Chain A
Amino acid sequence: MRFSKKFIIPVLGASLLMPTMANVSAAEMKPTAVTPAADLRSDLDYLLSEHFTLAVAAMTTAYDGSENADEAFKALDQNAVDMEPAIASIYGEKGAAEFERIFREHNNYTDDFVKATKDNDQAAMAEVDKEVEQFVNEFAKFLSTATEGKLPEAAAKEALRTHEDQVKETFEDYVEGDYEGAAKTYREGFQHMFAISKALSTSIVTQMPDKFENTKADTPAADLRSTLNSLAAEHFALATMGMQKGFEGAKDYDYIGWSENANTADFKAAIGSVYGEEGAAQFEKIWQGDHINAQAEFVSAQIKDDKEGEQAAKEKLHKFAQEFGTFLGGATEENLPTKAAQDAVKAHEDTVIKTFEQYVEGDYAGSYDTYREGYKLMFGVGQALGDAIVKQNPDKFAGTAMPTDMPKTGMGGASEQTTNPLTIIWTALGSLAALMAVVVVRKRQLSK
């Protein structure tokens, strides 16, 4: 495993659609989580999942009549605006304008739906449902046309409808006081955004292989990066939301804690899949004590106006940054350098604390700005940690050598339009097995 020296360690903090590092050609066997295609997927991970967190925040705060509701809507709108350069870089200004027209507009439905719910106006609610349905159809058509059918319209429709349903259900559960249901749907809805971004990014990459230097968005390395994106970003969203709810004594505070525990368990499993049970157990201990629980202690101290307690909690969080950075550096055998990891974790904790402190001060605009900054930071974690793990364990992620196109094994076309996902999985597994064989053979040759 002496590959690390040959690569530049990526700097934490992925910038939007910036081509990262001299790219690995498709023929290159050494896998990496940082390719133009994986970057596209990660950028979509970021923007789409952030859209989900902000949509739910905007609806629930508006329903509660909270003072920060307006800022939540502004952040939601800004997220849509931020998607445009990404679209423009692929489909040009015209495509971006059309995207804005359809997508930005649909954010307003969330506002309309909250108002209708508050007034218990069934007719208005039905009207919003109709508008959402129109959006789903229109946007699915847009995506399908833009990707020249690589993302089939039906699949896009289904994915979008699921998303709209999940946002609505999370909100409705919240309104009904079913906070457990809301917390569960929130997690599902959040994770669904990463499924959308995978489908969309693979479609775009398939459509324009040259633009993405023949890299793929669904390699095992890109999958790992996306998984880490999801876990880290969800942690950030839950941590900041939980702290505010704790401070307000909100009725659903405990349920955010449950979700955090579930997120920890998922994170532990992901670490375990790479570093085994012992590594997972070590992760869990570091992750929770001076981190998850310290964030809660910070809130409790704020409520009691206990300055000493605040300081103690902050120190724990700083200690966590040191310890967790050391853990990551050690686990990845410095493929992710300890110092870089410590700095990144500290930057994360700082944004968590700042988001909360600005909220407490009533600086809601500042709080959402910091939230967006801190949220984006988590995708740098996915990039840096994901790539470090991939570089450390190239055998586990030997998926970069995908052919750029499927072999033309069809003779007639009778089996066209097979949308059975099982078929796709079997095909993928088959090609993976073939690739593994290639790798093994190549390794044998090398060792001779």
Chain B
Amino acid sequence: MNKLIHFACFILIAIILVSGTIYVKQLMVQASETKEQDLKQVKEKQTQKENLKSRITLAEEFTVLKEHKTEKKPLNKKFTGIIPTNVTIPSIDVNASIEQVGLLETGQMAAPSTEDGVAWFEPGSKPGTKGNAVLAGHVDSKSGPAIFYHLKDLEKGDEITIKDKQGTTLTFVVKKKQSYPRDKAPLNEIFGYSKGRHLNLITCTGTFDRSKGTHQERLVVYTELKAEEAMQLEDEAKLPVTPTNVKISGNLLTWHAVREGNIIGYRIYKKVPGRTFTHIGSISEYERKSYVDKNSSNAHYYVTAVDEYGLESAPSSMAK
């Protein structure tokens, strides 16, 4: 019996020993695994920290001088509408510059300041985006007809062209026109959100109410972005062109500027032996296309171009 108890004890101890060892071993493996993972995470964090762009916004990274953006905006998925500066309506011989207006204290949309000018309701949608962008013009003045005098003559299918400062052009097609009593216009339909890309033109119509100092009715011409242009807006945006002639001489990295598309700047990437490429600096479009790296020995570099949408080109050829 005694022998049996001893044997049982021995077996128990053996089991405890064996399983204990296995358990401890497993613990150790786990520990070292987590350690490795931690190390990996730290490394990743480090790389991210070194990667400048992960820490700052596009606006912080690049300074964009307005007058430098001189190219038309391409029509693609990234398109965010235009700030209109000119409108032409060939069928009624209108060619006018556009000013931006907002709301009056009364809650009314402000009127254009001149009889030859057209006003764009700036708090509303930008032309080209989904929604209703609104332009207004006077029908007449005390001395005679004003810019939108012939707006009522527009017919379905007539075209309206608007441009921005860079020359980006959008064409809208007349869908319908309708007059409303001054205080009964369907504001939501004219100004509100819509799935289509609309541009609505407003002017006064009807008889002039001297007691109120305004015409009794408002004419609204509803237009929609031309189908071809609307289709283009569904296209994917193209990546910017890659910078060329990237060269390191001494500790000055230089490259040639990209001259197509609205480039806002360049990113510089560096790799030292045993590490991956990290983003070490950015140069805005208006600056000299060069970058000083005090520690350039054994380093490899490439440069990318970034456009106004934040899209980044493929890496340039490497400089070392």
Question: Is A289 in the interface zone, CB < 8 Å from B?
Answer: yes
Question: Is B252 in the interface zone, CB < 8 Å from A?
Answer: yes
Question: Is B68 in the interface zone, CB < 8 Å from A?
Answer: yes
The answer to whether A261 touches B254 (Cβ under 8 A) is yes
The answer to whether A264 touches B292 (Cβ under 8 A) is no
* Contact-residue size bin, chain B (C-beta under 8 Å from the other chain): 20 to 34
Chain A residue with the shortest CB-CB distance to B288 = A296
- Which of A249, A284, A300 is close to B250, meaning CB atoms less than 8 Å apart? A284
Question: Is A101 in the interface zone, CB < 8 Å from B?
Answer: no
Chain B residue with the shortest CB-CB distance to A294 = B292
Smallest beta-carbon distance B142→chain A, Å: 40
B291 to chain A: which residues have CB within 8 Å?
Answer: 293
Knowing A249-B65, A254-B256, A304-B63, say if A285 contacts B251 (CB, 8 Å): yes
**Cα–Cα distance between A301 and B289 once the two chains are bound (Å):** 15
- Which of A268, A285, A293 is close to B290, meaning CB atoms less than 8 Å apart? A293
Chain A residue with the shortest CB-CB distance to B291 = A293
**Cα–Cα distance between A411 and B257 once the two chains are bound (Å):** 62
**Cα–Cα distance between A268 and B249 once the two chains are bound (Å):** 10
Question: Is B275 in the interface zone, CB < 8 Å from A?
Answer: no
B163-198 interface (Cβ within 8 A of A): none
- Which of A254, A258, A288, A296 is close to B249, meaning CB atoms less than 8 Å apart? A288
Question: Is B286 in the interface zone, CB < 8 Å from A?
Answer: yes
**Cα–Cα distance between A264 and B288 once the two chains are bound (Å):** 15
Chain B residue with the shortest CB-CB distance to A296 = B288
**Cα–Cα distance between A397 and B311 once the two chains are bound (Å):** 57
Knowing A254-B257, A289-B292, A293-B292, say if A303 contacts B249 (CB, 8 Å): no
Chain B residue with the shortest CB-CB distance to A281 = B250
Question: Is B67 in the interface zone, CB < 8 Å from A?
Answer: yes
Chain A residue with the shortest CB-CB distance to B296 = A285
Smallest beta-carbon distance A55→chain B, Å: 26
A281 to chain B: which residues have CB within 8 Å?
Answer: 250
* 28 interchain pairs, CB-CB under 8 A: A254-B256, A257-B254, A257-B290, A261-B254, A261-B290, A265-B249, A268-B249, A284-B250, A285-B251, A288-B249, A288-B250, A288-B251, A289-B250, A289-B251, A289-B292, A289-B294, A293-B252, A293-B288, A293-B291, A293-B292, A296-B287, A296-B288, A296-B290, A299-B288, A300-B284, A300-B286, A300-B287, A303-B65
Question: Is A17 in the interface zone, CB < 8 Å from B?
Answer: no
Q: Which 9 A-B pairs have the closest CB atoms?
A: A296-B288, A284-B250, A288-B252, A285-B250, A254-B257, A289-B292, A300-B287, A293-B292, A257-B288
B249 to chain A: which residues have CB within 8 Å?
Answer: 261, 264-265, 268, 284, 288
Interface size on A, residues (CB 8 A): 24
B-contacting residues of A (Cβ < 8 Å)? 242, 246, 249, 253-254, 257-258, 261, 264-265, 268, 281, 284-285, 287-289, 292-293, 296, 299-300, 303-304
Smallest beta-carbon distance A325→chain B, Å: 18
A284 to chain B: which residues have CB within 8 Å?
Answer: 249-250, 252
**Cα–Cα distance between A300 and B288 once the two chains are bound (Å):** 8
- Which of B252, B286, B288, B292 is close to A249, meaning CB atoms less than 8 Å apart? B286
Q: Which of B63, B250, B254, B291 has the most CB of A within 10 A?
A: B250
B214-244 interface (Cβ within 8 A of A): none
Smallest beta-carbon distance A319→chain B, Å: 13
Q: A257-B289, A284-B252 are in contact. List 14 more A-B contacts (CB 8 A).
A: A246-B286, A249-B286, A254-B288, A257-B288, A281-B250, A284-B249, A284-B250, A288-B249, A289-B252, A289-B294, A292-B252, A292-B290, A293-B291, A300-B284
**Cα–Cα distance between A253 and B257 once the two chains are bound (Å):** 10
Smallest beta-carbon distance B281→chain A, Å: 12
A253 to chain B: which residues have CB within 8 Å?
Answer: 288
Chain A residue with the shortest CB-CB distance to B63 = A304
